[in-house]
């Protein structure tokens, strides 16, 4: 049935008072009281009506959506496989077959022999609307495989174990996991973490194969509801590393992998604001920590005295030390210098010997790849830029040379010489220089359409990497820009801190100022800028359309975190307690309450003209609950004074990441790009 007007959500008065301030929320009813089960008929009917409106408005553009999908798919090598990597007696790789949405995991013996299929995602996903592989781990002796899957997007994974040679899946099954799977104690046990009712991993548990779940042993329980627990095996595979942390504080315990029931060794008691992670080599710990410098230092300690740390590499204002990896004869540090990735090799027996690995381009993304072995003569690396497809290298230690193993192939063809990438600096309103990565065709007309992407939260940097889908905009005359705004850690820890808590609005103003700067440089015009962001980046979208609606010609907000105040006021929600270090605690702190209220996109919707907007949600999303975008769209429909498009699409069988599968997810990108091209008036002829 065709309807002429968009859905209008019912208004049901709902008022809550905090700090003697009454907050009215007429759309609070869109939260099903039975969540995470969503069965309320009125809620489901409203979401269905919004989905029908989305389908109706996009139907005339289905031809373009199909064309975009076809060209995006044409850039993917359908029958493809990864570069095999040695791990013990085996070579492991993954492989996609022609037309397959999901991959298969393979191996073969180093000494020769037939290829062996160890996990078939295609078969596991059959019959499911959604499928996502969580953890996968081969036992240390190579005979068994543990893996976990999520079949509805709720991010509650079920773990299973099988004998690889026979394919027999043993009866042991662990539902509700949200963690890695770690083999210990001669492959007789697996360490994992369960998600509790609030979707928090407050535990590390040991399951002995062949026993009931009721007999599983809790190795560690976290009392602080804001912390999350995870476990990993040390690089030398001798120790189980159990870590617990929130966004700014961490604590680590060590347990012998051969004796997981032994008394854990606490490395150092947690100290608010101090983060650290640990690796081991023989009887020495290496610690990566921000205790003396916000950009982290590297320290060492004796296993017998794990809390007594001696500096190995000092913290630096210039170099942001993001991580490290230990190997038998050397170690590798990773970091960023002026926002660009750096990789250095250093040697235990010669502290003065430092080997940086250099790359040819001025702007790029690089890092260590999969390096599972302890004793190695070469390192697997990954590299890409906004114009260079993903490349896999081996770095040979003996002669310090890079060997190209694989370059991402685009079957339809790709000529990097047609494109140019730039790294710009644009001044924010307070004078801070904000890096911006830009890619465009060399023959692009000036002041054409431009797409601007941003995130700016949680200290997550947005790398200037390669994207096959992005080409569908760039080849239609767009410049594509990434704003490396404050709130990410692109330029170090200070950059992150400058966009969180009481300085959160810097992320929003940085994004607006970058857009203005791109206009001033002649790259585009107001109203010819499309923007997108997801999750916390969706919050960014909501903030900038409230503050500067006339700048944007089209906006796409994926699973947007827009109901910030109400979410941070609800400690029963899965993520809320762990999020307070990032946003502030408005329950206890009136200043935090007032600040969040001042920028929360849902709370700041006003009677004004808004740009065209496409919003997505996932019914099973545990990170940004479906009602946040649903409520936001309802309030926008009520108050906005324009007749621009406002569309909401809720994935009824998926979660935070949208549809699963490498081609199904492309269909959603094709819809997004078709919406942008439609709203900016970009034609294909």
Catalytic positions are 535, 621, 656
Query: Which 8-state DSSP code applies to residue 486?
Result: B
Paired strand residues for 196? none
Distance CA 502, CA 6 (A): 37
Enter the tokens of residue 568: 């941070």
Ordered strands of the 189-192 beta sheet = 182-184, 189-192, 203-208, 217-221
- 36: preceding bond cis by omega (within 30 degrees): yes
Neighbours of 14 (CB within 10 A): 12
| φ/ψ bin of 569: left (φ > 0), alpha (ψ from -120 to 50), beta (otherwise) | alpha
In a 10 Å sphere around its CB, with 0-12 CB exposed, 13-18 middle and 19+ buried, how is residue 618 labelled?
A: buried
Contacts (Cβ under 8 Å, ≥6 apart) of 29:
10, 12, 14, 42, 43
Largest CA distance in the chain: 75
Q: What is the dihedral of CA 340, 346, 350, 355, to 10 degrees?
A: -50
Distance CA 658, CA 661 (A): 10
Distance CA 340, CA 360 (A): 12
Phi, psi of 247 (to 5 degrees): -75, -10
């Amino acid at each position: 049935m065709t309807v002429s007007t968009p859905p209008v959500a019912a208004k049901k008065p709902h008022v809550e008072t905090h700090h003697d301030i009454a907050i009215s929320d007429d759309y609070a009813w869109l939260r099903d009281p039975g969540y995470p089960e969503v069965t309320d008929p009125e809620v489901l009917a409203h979401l269905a009506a919004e989905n029908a409106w989305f389908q109706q408005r996009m139907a005339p553009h289905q031809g373009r959506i199909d064309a975009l999908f076809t060209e995006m798919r044409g850039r993917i090598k359908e029958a493809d496989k990864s570069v095999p990597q040695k791990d013990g007696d085996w070579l492991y790789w993954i492989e996609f077959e022609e037309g397959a949405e999901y991959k298969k995991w393979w191996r073969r013996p180093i000494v020769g022999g037939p290829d062996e299929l160890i996990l078939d995602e295609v078969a596991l996903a059959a019959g499911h609307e959604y499928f996502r592989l969580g953890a996968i781990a081969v036992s240390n002796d190579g005979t068994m495989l543990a893996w976990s899957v999520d079949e509805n997007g709720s991010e509650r994974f079920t773990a299973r174990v099988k004998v690889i040679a026979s394919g027999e899946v043993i009866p042991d099954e662990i539902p509700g996991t949200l963690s890695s799977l770690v083999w210990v104690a001669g492959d007789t046990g697996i360490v994992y973490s369960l998600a509790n009712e609030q979707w928090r991993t407050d535990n590390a548990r040991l399951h002995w194969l062949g026993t009931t779940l009721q007999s599983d042993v809790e190795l560690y329980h976290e009392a602080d509801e804001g912390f999350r627990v995870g476990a990993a095996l040390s690089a030398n595979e001798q120790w189980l590393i159990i870590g617990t942390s929130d966004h700014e504080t961490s604590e680590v315990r060590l347990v012998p992998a051969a004796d997981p029931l032994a008394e854990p060794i606490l490395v150092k008691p947690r100290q608010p604001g101090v983060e650290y992670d640990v690796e081991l080599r023989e009887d020495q710990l290496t610690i990566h920590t921000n205790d003396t410098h916000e950009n982290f230092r590297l320290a060492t300690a004796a296993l017998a005295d794990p809390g007594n740390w001696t500096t190995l590499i000092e913290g630096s204002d210039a170099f942001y030390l993001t991580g490290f990896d230990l190997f038998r004869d050397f170690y590798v540090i990773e970091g960023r210098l002026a926002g660009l990735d750096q990789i250095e090799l250093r040697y235990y027996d010669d502290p003065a010997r430092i080997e940086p690995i250099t790359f040819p381009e001025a702007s790029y993304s690089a890092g260590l790849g999969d390096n599972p072995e302890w004793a190695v003569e070469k390192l697997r690396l990954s590299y890409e830029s906004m114009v260079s497809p993903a490349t896999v290298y081996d770095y040979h230690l003996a002669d310090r040379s890079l060997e190209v193993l694989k370059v991402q192939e685009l079957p339809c063809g790709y000529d990097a010489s047609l494109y140019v990438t730039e790294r710009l600096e644009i001044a924010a309103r307070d004078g801070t220089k904000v890096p911006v990565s830009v890619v465009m065709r060399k023959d692009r007309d000036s002041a054409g359409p431009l797409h601007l992407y941003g995130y700016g939260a949680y200290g997550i940097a947005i790398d200037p990497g390669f994207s096959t889908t992005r080409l569908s905009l760039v080849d239609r005359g767009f410049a594509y820009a990434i704003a490396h705004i404050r709130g990410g850690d692109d330029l170090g820890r200070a950059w992150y801190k400058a966009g969180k808590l009481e300085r959160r609005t810097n992320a929003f103003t940085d994004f607006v100022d970058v857009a203005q700067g791109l206009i001033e440089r002649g790259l585009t015009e107001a109203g010819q800028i499309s923007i997108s962001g997801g999750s916390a980046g969706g919050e960014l979208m909501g903030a900038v359309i409230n503050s500067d609606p006339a700048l944007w010609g089209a906006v796409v907000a994926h699973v947007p975190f827009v109901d910030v105040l109400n979410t941070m006021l609800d400690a029963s929600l899965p993520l809320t307690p762990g999020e307070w270090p990032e946003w502030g605690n408005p329950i206890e702190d009136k200043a935090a309450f007032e600040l969040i209220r001042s920028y929360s996109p849902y709370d700041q919707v006003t009677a004004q003209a808004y740009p065209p907007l496409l919003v997505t949600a996932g019914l099973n999303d545990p990170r940004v609950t479906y009602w946040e975008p649903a409520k936001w769209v309802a309030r926008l429909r009520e108050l906005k004074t324009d007749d621009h498009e406002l569309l909401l699409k809720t994935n009824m069988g998926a979660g935070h990441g949208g549809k699963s599968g490498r081609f199904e997810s492309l269909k959603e990108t094709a819809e997004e790009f078709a919406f942008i091209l439609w709203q900016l008036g970009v034609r294909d002829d």
